[in-house]
Amino acid sequence: MDFADSAQIQEELLRQIALAEPELKKNRFSKLHCESCGRSIPEPRRAALPGVSYCINCKKQMERGDGKAQRY
């Protein structure tokens, strides 16, 4: 194996890591359950908003100015 082969292998590994990284980050910080009500947060919401902590109902309630969403 020469220098060019080693460089090609390293490049391929780095490419695979770079392609996988956004998928890994997507759900890394998202909560599985709402911090307010405890209900599960659907996967499409977690995928669309990495780092989400609230279900859509609690988030809407908070944005309306109802204060902190109630715990159930």
Q: What is the pLDDT of residues 9-26, one digit of tens each?
A: 999 988 888 887 666 555
Other CB atoms within 10 A of residue 9 CB: 11
Q: Is residue 29 part of a domain?
A: yes
How many distinct structural domains can be found in the chain? 1
Q: Is residue 54 part of a domain?
A: yes
Q: Is residue 57 part of a domain?
A: yes
Q: Supply the pTM of this predicted model.
A: 0.51
Boundaries of domain holding 51: 3-63
Q: Are 62 and 54 in contact (CB under 8 A)?
A: yes
Q: Is residue 7 part of a domain?
A: yes
% residues pLDDT > 70 (the chain) = 76
Q: Is residue 69 part of a domain?
A: no
* 11-22-50 Cα angle (round to 5): 165
With CA atoms as reference, report the closest residue to 68 among 24, 23, 34.
34
